[in-house]
């Protein structure tokens, strides 16, 4: 037997329909203007009952008390369900807040540990770097002292051509011009260095080498013609055979001068290597290699 809708009198079988518990009649959900959401809620929760619009507007007189009791029961059930949902949401929110707080605490502790480890690593790196730089500079100074002693009897000549066959003779002619008495064997060797741009002369005695340098500075002007004859007036220069560290200091000083950070400099090539630096304001500072690096905040290569 088909159940007819109390509004449209059409069969409700197989459609979205509701049973009114007051008048015991079936109604299409659309005929009662019941939304899909409300219909789904009523359909899934059997604790709820439906009362049609007609019974709500004109409840039966003979069952008014029962109707009111049923309505109160339904409202109580609905209220309990809502309260239950609110309670569950509160529990879920409390759990979520607790989890978030725990995660935040763990992250905060982890970040704190990472920062502490990074600070410790940085301290150790700086400590090792300082120790490494100190040790490296000490080794550089030891190497400089050994090189300086080995090069002590050397002179480097610049300004001569790079196609001279007998460099030993040139060295003897230089000494003769400077009126320094040189015996056979006083000059051990003479050879081109710096790709032919300079001549290295090795003396057998430091005293003879120092005498040559002393006479050179007294004369103040040495020309190509003074050594190999002819009319070439080009200047010839005599210098120390610098060590590796002295050359590094020399390059730094030239760079500072070209960058106009200093007015001038003078390298004192001794076992304790120093440079006299004339600052822009006219002050003169005597600095070793490391002090020069630190003062001008340089990054030597």
Residues in contact with 153: Cβ distance below 8 Å, sequence separation at least 6, in sequence order: 202, 203, 204, 205, 206, 208, 209
Query: Mind listing the pLDDT tens digit for each residue in 121-154?
Result: 888 887 777 788 788 888 888 999 999 999 999 9
Over pLDDT 90: what percentage of the chain? 38
| Contact between 67 and 38 (Cβ < 8 Å) | no
pLDDT on residue 292: 87
Right CATH number for 152-241 from 3.30.1360.10, 3.40.50.150, 3.30.70.330, 3.90.700.10? Answer: 3.30.70.330
Q: What is the band of 67 on the pLDDT scale with cuts at 50, 70, 90?
A: low
Name the helix (H) or strand (E) containing 75. Answer: helix 64-151
pLDDT category at 156 given cuts 50, 70, 90 is very high
Residue of 32, 33, 34, 26 whose CA lies nearest to 10: 26
Considering only CA atoms, give the Rg of the chain: 52
- As a whole number of angstroms, the distance between CA 80 and CA 86 comes to 10
How does DSSP classify residue 26? E
Strands in 66-224 per DSSP E: 154-158, 187-193, 198-203
Task: Write down the domain spans for the chain.
Answer: 152-241, 243-301
pLDDT band for 286, please (50, 70, 90 cuts).
Answer: very high
Question: Cα–Cα distance between 174 and 156 in angstroms, integer?
Answer: 12
Provide mean pLDDT across the span 183-199.
92
Please state, in angstroms and rounded to a whole number, the distance separating the CA atoms of residues 29 and 32: 5
Answer yes or no: is pLDDT of 300 > 70: no
Mean pLDDT calculated for residue range 96-113: 88
Residues 6, 54: Cα–Cα separation, whole Å: 10
**pLDDT confidence tier of residue 117, bands split at 50, 70 and 90:** confident
pLDDT at 62 over 60: no
- Using CB atoms within 10 Å of the CB of residue 12, give its burial: 0 to 12 exposed, 13 to 18 middle, 19+ buried: buried
Residue 269 in contact with residue 154, Cβ under 8 Å? no
Q: Are strands 274-279 and 284-287 parallel, antiparallel or unpaired?
A: antiparallel
Q: What is the DSSP letter of 50?
A: B
The tokens for 57 are: 């507007």
- What does residue 152 show for φ and ψ, rounded to 5 degrees? -55, -35
Helix (H) or strand (E) holding 53: helix 53-57
H/E segment holding residue 277: strand 274-279
The structure tokens 């763990």 sit at: 106
Let me know if 158 is exposed, middle or buried by CB neighbors in 10 A (0-12, 13-18, 19+).
middle
């Amino acid at each position: 037997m088909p159940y007819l809708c109390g509004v449209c009198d059409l069969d409700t079988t197989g459609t979205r329909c509701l049973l009114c518990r007051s008048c015991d009649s079936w109604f299409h959900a659309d005929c009662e203007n019941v939304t899909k959401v409300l219909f789904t809620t009523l359909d899934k929760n059997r604790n709820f009952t439906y009362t049609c619009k007609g019974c709500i507007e004109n409840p039966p007189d003979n069952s008014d008390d029962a109707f009111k009791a049923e309505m109160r029961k339904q409202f109580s059930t609905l209220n309990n369900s809502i309260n239950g949902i609110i309670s569950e949401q509160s529990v879920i929110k409390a759990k979520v807040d607790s989890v978030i707080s725990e995660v935040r605490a763990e992250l905060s502790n982890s970040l704190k540990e990472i920062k502490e480890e990074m600070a410790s690593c940085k301290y150790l790196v700086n400590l090792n770097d300082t120790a490494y730089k100190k040790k490296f500079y000490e080794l550089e100074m030891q190497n400089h002292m050994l090189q300086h002693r080995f090069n002590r009897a050397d002179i480097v000549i610049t300004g001569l051509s790079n196609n001279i066959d007998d460099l030993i003779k040139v060295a003897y002619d230089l000494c003769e011009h400077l009126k320094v008495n040189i015996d056979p064997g006083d000059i051990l060797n003479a050879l081109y260095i710096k790709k032919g741009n300079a001549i290295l002369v090795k003396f057998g005695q430091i005293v003879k080498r120092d005498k040559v340098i002393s006479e050179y500075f007294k004369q103040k002007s040495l020309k190509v013609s003074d050594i190999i004859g002819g009319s070439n007036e080009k200047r010839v220069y005599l210098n120390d055979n610098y060590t590796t560290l002295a050359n590094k200091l020399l390059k730094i000083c030239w760079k500072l001068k070209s960058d106009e950070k200093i007015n001038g400099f003078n390298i004192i090539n001794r076992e304790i290597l120093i440079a006299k630096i004339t600052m822009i304001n006219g002050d003169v500072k005597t600095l070793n290699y490391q002090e020069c690096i630190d003062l001008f905040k340089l990054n030597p290569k």
